[in-house]
Amino acid sequence: MKQDILDRFLKYISIDTKSDEYSETTPSTECQFNLAKVLVEEMAEMGLQDISLDENGYIMGTLPSNTDKKVPVIGFVSHMDTSPDMPGDASTACLIENYQGEHVVLNEDGLTLSPNDFPEMLDYIGQTLIVTDGTTLLGADDKAGIAEIITAVDYLIKHPEIKHGEIRIGFTPDEEIGRGVDKFDVEKFNAEFAYTLDGGGIGELEYENFNAASAKVHIQGRNIHPGYAKNKMMNAILMATEFNAMLPVNERPEFTQDYEGFYHVVKIEGSVEKAYLQYIIRDHDREKFEEKKVFIQQVADFMNLRYGENTFVLELKDQYYNMREKVEPVYHIVETAKEAMEQLGIVPKIIPIRGGTDGSRLSYMGLPCPNIFAGGHNFHGKFEYVPLESMVKASEVIIKIVQLYTERA
């Protein structure tokens, strides 16, 4: 299994699948079809049934039941796209075998992945770390999850002595830009519940996530020759920084943890004439989440009183909600995943996701869907890495969950 999962992962990450938030198509980038076609071909070669790839880039497939028992239909889901924050072709990834706690020099420019900065690296002494050369994302978010699902299903096919019910697998586009399940057909997927393989380090098991919204602020300034600007110029750049300064400093990502929410400015651009701010707003508590949206609207309203009507135009859009409300009524799906980890010698870490997954929205679409670790660390940046052994354990967790539900049927 170890070599299979490594080979698959290295193949998948060599295909650039970066999504594009400014695109209006689904998938947002044509390159996501390049990986989708590889996966469909691989699924067919394995012998899966009911394989489909639709015009929007959604893949589904079925491993039929091999038991007469009445076992719930279980789904496993991961996303194909990688974050638009960096290039997504990680064909230059390399392996650090038998890692011993040293600093890892990623490239000839001296870029270094260090346990001084990322102390959790020391949890993987003796293991194999997969890293980038520092110029691209690794893509473990979420190609590790894809490799783990495919490898687990392939293992079940090759070991028919392991009894299981019907298993559905699905791969989605555009998760990184908040549109991963916009056109996911839950009825067609036809699972009673599912798991996303999209979490971080080994042992993570999550059924709580942020409530999430995006906020876009368009600022109209007035550009006047600086020599004649007194009482006339309205510098949109300075107005943008003034707006940002009115949001609470202690509610930024770098100052929050656990269940604490935040405002996070992800983009600022502009000139004296026009400026633009983009934020993500997050909170686990729905009431506090709504309060945050009200507050940023109040800031925009105040700035319009100060500078004139429609100087600041705020666009607020909800993205997803906390899945806890939908998972708790079927909490056995969390308990079973926890038991699966424990039986495999993995210490479960049931923590709230400080982010979101396709599973959060799927849960509200009628498919309860907690999140299991995929094994990676430092997602969305050049220091991303994944221990190979964590990926193997994730595949084993999938197999064990399937076994547990079959045994109890």
Rounded distance between C-alpha atoms, residue 375 and residue 130, angstroms: 11
Catalytic residues: 81, 175
pLDDT at res. 348: 97
Give pLDDT tens digits for 8-53.
Answer: 999 999 999 999 989 999 999 999 999 999 999 999 999 999 999 9
Q: What is d(CA 43, CA 54) in angstroms, rounded to the nearest whole number?
A: 15
Contacts of 229 (CB under 8 A, 6+ apart): none
Amino acid occupying residue 70? K
Is the Cβ–Cβ distance between 142 and 39 less than 8 Å? no
Question: Which residue carries 């999962």 as its tokens?
Answer: 5
Domains and CATH numbers, the chain: 2-209+322-408 (3.40.630.10), 211-320 (3.30.70.360)
What's the full length of the chain, in residues?
Answer: 409
Residue 403 predicted with pLDDT over 80: yes
Quote the CA–CA distance of 55 and 57 in Å, as a whole number.
6
The structure's pTM equals 0.86
Q: Of 178, 207, 190, 141, which is closest to residue 394 (Cα–Cα)?
A: 141
Mark 204-232 as b/e (b = at least 16 C-beta within 10 Å).
bbbbbbbbbbbbebbbbbeebeeeeeeee
Q: What DSSP line would sit under 17-68, residue for residue? A: -B--TT--SSSSSTTHHHHHHHHHHHHHHHT-EEEEE-TTS-EEEEE---SS
Which helix (DSSP H) or strand (DSSP E) does residue 232 occupy?
A: none
pLDDT at position 383 is 95
User: Which of 206, 193, 143, 212 shows the shortest CA–CA distance to 172?
Assistant: 143
Q: Tell me whether strands 349-350 and 204-206 are parallel, antiparallel or unpaired.
A: parallel
Q: Nearest 5 degrees, angle CA 230-CA 235-CA 240?
A: 145
Q: What is the pLDDT of residues 230-280, one digit of tens each?
A: 999 999 999 999 999 999 999 999 999 999 999 999 999 999 999 999 999
> H/E element holding 312?
strand 312-320
Which among 123, 117, 130 has a CA at the least distance from the CA of 101? 123
CA distance 307 to 54: 49
96-146 per-position pLDDT tens digit: 999 999 999 999 888 999 999 999 999 999 999 999 999 999 999 999 999
Of the candidates 202, 201, 143, which has an alpha carbon nearest to the alpha carbon of residue 7? 143
Spatial contact of 385 and 113, defined as CB atoms under 8 Å apart? yes
Q: Provide the mean pLDDT of the chain.
A: 96
Digit-coded pLDDT (tens) for 151-202: 999 999 999 999 999 999 999 999 999 899 999 999 999 999 999 999 899 9
Using the predicted structure, report yes or no on whether residue 358 has a pLDDT greater than 90.
Answer: no
Q: How far is CA 105 from the centre of its chain?
A: 26
Alpha helices in 140-229 (DSSP H): 140-158, 186-189
Give the integer Cα–Cα distance in Å for 378 and 201: 10
**Quick one: pLDDT at residue 221?**
97
The predicted pLDDT at position 356 comes to 76
User: Residue 249 is encoded by which pair of tokens?
Assistant: 């400093």
The two tokens of residue 47 are 């012998």
Measure the CA–CA gap between 324 and 302, rounded to whole angstroms: 35
Spatial distance between the Cα atoms of 207 and 195, rounded to a whole number of angstroms = 10
